[in-house]
Structure 1
Amino acid sequence: MAGLAGKGRGQAWPCLLFAEPEQLGGPEPALQARESLEMLAHDEVAGIDVGKMRLDVHVAGVAEGFWTGNDGRGIRDLIVRLRRLKVRRVGIEASGGYERGVAVALSTAGFKVVLCDPAQVRNFARAMKVRAKTDPIDARMIARYLMAAGDLPLYQPDALRDRLGELVNMRRHLIAERSELAAKTDQIADPMLARLLRRRLRQLAADLELVELEIRRHIQSHAELSQRAKALMAVPGVGPVLSTILIAELPELGAIGARQIASLVGVAPHPRQSGLADRGGKCSGGRTRVRTVLYMACLSALKARHSRLYPFYERLRANGKPFKLAITAVMRKFLTILNAITRDSAAYRPT
């Protein structure tokens, strides 16, 4: 993609729709022909690959993609161009928060915005035999994924949840930095550097306390967030950390079915069967940060002999299921319980 160097804001890059197989990492010509027909039939779809500084855009059925800046001016230009191209639905790959500005702006401007899971888009690209990975190709694959996936949940701007998400992200970064520096305390011999490290660790502890206090204040000062947090924490095994993560990073909880929510988090097994071979289901993709906190919560629940999760886990282990399979099933069951409680606004029942 050396030819992109030096192009200015909003300039086009060549469309890869009709590129040779080796340029895209291997798709067959028949696949490309089918893709071109699909795109012509879905000319209202666009895919956006989000970076810190720029947005790469691919509009289905259009011969050229383009890029623009990921800032106020660039997003305004993007809205004008998408309207000119009659785009209605836009797929945006979640990108650690860099996508928030463009997602809010497009949704406010009347576009149907879908936040796509990066792992699911990449798995889709592999299924299409596209091994190359560049920003323009990613934008193209997001558009194709959006067409193939059909009816996906639309992004709805939520200022309260967005701010909670920012606070949660900051908390995560502070904890990661603290862990990294704490691991170095025994490796530094220089007294001056050791003092700097201790001072930084104290500052991180203070910053973390401040952020956690603001998270609690933010939830408690807004009835919608507070009620949802209380309902979740009424379930044994759900503490402040898990409830906050679920509210901030899994807004679909309670709005979609059990199978869908499990797949979204990455704890739903997908079949792997071909001919006479049946290798069982495999869980992959999903929202890693939600899954990690859910895993830790399930471990704690099992240690506390949770009234619904522990007997279920024991039955699985007694039937010869390995730990990894059993704990994944427990996570799925726990998530199903939380999804039903949120959906029905019902109180938790131990049995």
Structure 2
Amino acid sequence: MNRITRDAILGIDVSRDWLDIHCLPSNQRLRLPNSEDGHARVGALAKSACALVCFEATGGQEWRLWSALDVAGVATRQLPPAQIKAFAASRGTRAKTDRIDAELIARFMAFRPDTGRTLPHEKIRLLRALVSKRGQLVETRKRLLAQIKAHAKLGSDDLFDVMDGDLKDLLDRQIAGLEVRIEQIIASEEGLATTAAILRSVPGIGPVASTMLIAEMPELGQITGEQAAALTGLAPIAHDSGAMRGKRAIGGGRRPLRHVMFQAALVASHHNPVLKPFADRLREAGKPHKVIITAVARKLVTIVNALCKSRQKWTTQLA
């Protein structure tokens, strides 16, 4: 790997313990430990070759490597796993090993050089981690509440009541603590605080949705409305062939953000003075509920993107 071609691509499959690397166009392979020493060696190789380093989003395994490479001044991209999987299927690749995955990542980057996410700044990274953890705890609490209801119907032992009550109190405190920390981070930087104020001025966008938009879509205000809808997976995808016109559907994008925008759209479809009449027209036209909420969510995303671009708060005249 000491003679890597300049302007190369290093595809890395990141696991807990190892970094499996595939270099294009030389097709050389290397395995390094997922440690500070391994990160430094990747950085040195990439800088010597003016290489672009790319890897999948792995739920956090890649963050230490990503941060180390950013500090070293190496160009990096985080790629969506769903697109890598589809790319593998298009090539007829059915086997799955760390080495194969590393090669697929590199070849996908060569095929789609415009794709992927760059490393957000430190506060956005921390915000994203806090938002993700809050979401996990909220889901845990939701499942616990369902279990509490089931225990109540069965007339379960008081022991369950005590255990469930203690666990619920713990989750409530942890969620509240995360929310305080999230608000502190947003308030500590003028740009983030201004963006949050703009987002929360829109009827339907509350603290959770505004924080998720800031954390998961830092491009907000720097892209077109169509791009914003696509990034959230709310852009309609055509299924046409010849004279046939298939149903449009949504998919892809940043799934956690899309789910939050659906919740915001439910509120906006009843309380936003611009989007409520729009939703009512769709209801009167007989559109299914899911179609209505998706359309409202898509409009909501394009509205907040436009407001962030102009750095103006919501008014019905601007919507």
- TM-score by length of structure 1 reads 0.80
Note if 1:251 corresponds to 2:181: no
Q: 1:273 to 1:204 in 2, by over 3 A?
A: same
Consecutive unaligned residues in structure 1, runs of 5 or more: 1-9, 11-39
Q: Which residue, 278, 293, 297 being the options, matches 1:312?
A: 278
- How far the C-alpha of 1:66 sits from its partner, in A, is 2.8
Corresponding position: 1:333 with 2:296: no
The reply on whether 1:270 has 2:237 as its aligned counterpart is yes
Taking a change above 3 Å as real, the CA distance of residues 267 and 129 of structure 1, as seen in their structure-2 partners, is: farther
Match of 1:105 in 2: 68
For the residue of structure 2 that corresponds to 1:110, the secondary structure is coil
Shift of the alpha carbon at 1:59? 1.8
- Tell me if 1:322 matches 2:285: no
Residues 32-90 of structure 1: CA deviation (Å, up to 9, x unaligned): xxxxxxxx9x9622222333333332222233333333332221122233345x25222
Q: How does 1:112-131 map to 2 (within 5 A)?
A: 112-131=75-94
Seen in structure 2, the aligned counterparts of structure 1 residues 243 and 307 have a Cα distance that, compared at 3 Å, is same
- How many aligned residue pairs are there? 310
Shift of 1:274: 2.9
Using the TM superposition, name which of 105-114 and 223-232 deviates more.
Answer: 105-114
2:46 equivalent among 60, 82, 92: 82
**Per-residue deviation at 1:208?**
1.5
Amino acid at match of 2:162: R
1:293 is displaced (CA, Å) by: 0.5
Alpha-carbon separation, structure 2, partners of 1:125 and 1:318: 44
Structure 2 distance, partners of 1:271, 1:131, is 27
Secondary structure in structure 2 of the residue aligned to 1:67: strand
Structure 2 CA distance for partners of 1:286 and 1:154, relative to 1, 3 Å: closer
Identity %: 35
Q: How much does 1:290 deviate?
A: 0.3
Could you list the runs of 5+ residues in structure 2 that have no partner in the other structure? none
Equivalences for residues 3-82 of structure 1 within 5 A: 44-82=8-46
Please tell me whether the aligned partners of residues 46 and 89 of structure 1 are also in contact (alpha carbons under 8 angstroms).
Answer: yes
RMSD: 2.5
- Give the 3-state SS of the residue equivalent to 1:212 in structure 2: helix
For residues 98-117 of structure 1, the C-alpha deviation after alignment (integer angstroms, 9 at most, x for no partner) is 22221122222222212222
Q: Which residue of 2 aligns with 1:211?
A: 178
- Corresponding residue of 2:202: 235
Alpha-carbon deviation of 1:237? Answer: 1.0
> By how many angstroms is 1:192 displaced?
4.1
1:206-264 deviations in Å (ceiling 9; x for gaps)? 12111111111221222221111111111111111111111111111112222222111
- The answer to whether the aligner puts 1:179 opposite 2:145 as a matched pair is no
- Tell me the secondary structure at the aligned position of residue 114 of structure 1: strand
Q: CA deviation at 1:191?
A: 4.4
- 1:196 — aligned with what? 163
The equivalent of 1:32 in structure 2 is none
Deviation at 1:341, TM superposition (A): 1.0
Decide whether aligned partners of structure 1 residues 279 and 233 sit closer, same or farther in structure 2, where only a CA change above 3 A counts. same
- Which residue matches 1:7? none
Residue matched to 2:258: 291
Partner of 1:169: 132
How far apart, CA to CA, are the structure 1 residues paired with 2:275 and 2:23?
Answer: 46
Larger mean Cα displacement after TM superposition, 272-281 or 335-344: 272-281
Distance 2:123 2:265 in 1: 28
Please give the secondary structure, in 2, of the residue aligned with 1:152. Answer: coil
Aligned in 2, Cα 1:70/1:193: closer, same or farther, shift over 3 Å?
farther
Shift of 1:309: 1.5
SS at match of 1:215: helix
- Name the SS of the counterpart of 1:92 in structure 2: strand
**Structure 1 letter corresponding to 2:68:** A
The alignment partner of 1:160 has SS state of helix
CA distance in 1, matches of 2:187, 2:164: 35
Question: In the alignment, what sits opposite 1:224?
Answer: 191
Cα drift, residue 153 of structure 1: 6.1
* Aligned twin of 1:342: 308
Q: 1:45 to 1:246 in 2, by over 3 A?
A: same
Provide closer, same or farther for how the CA distance between residues 141 and 272 of structure 1 changes in structure 2, counting only shifts above 3 A.
Answer: farther
Q: TM-score of the superposition, structure 2-length normalised? A: 0.87
User: What's the offset of the Cα at 1:132?
Assistant: 3.5
In the TM superposition, what whole-angstrom CA distance separates every residue of 1:147-187 from its partner, at most 9, and x where no partner exists?
A: 22232365144111111112112211221222233333344
Question: CA deviation digits over 1:264-316, x for unaligned, max 9?
Answer: 11111222233333324332111111001100000011122x22222222333
Query: 1:31 aligns to what?
Result: none
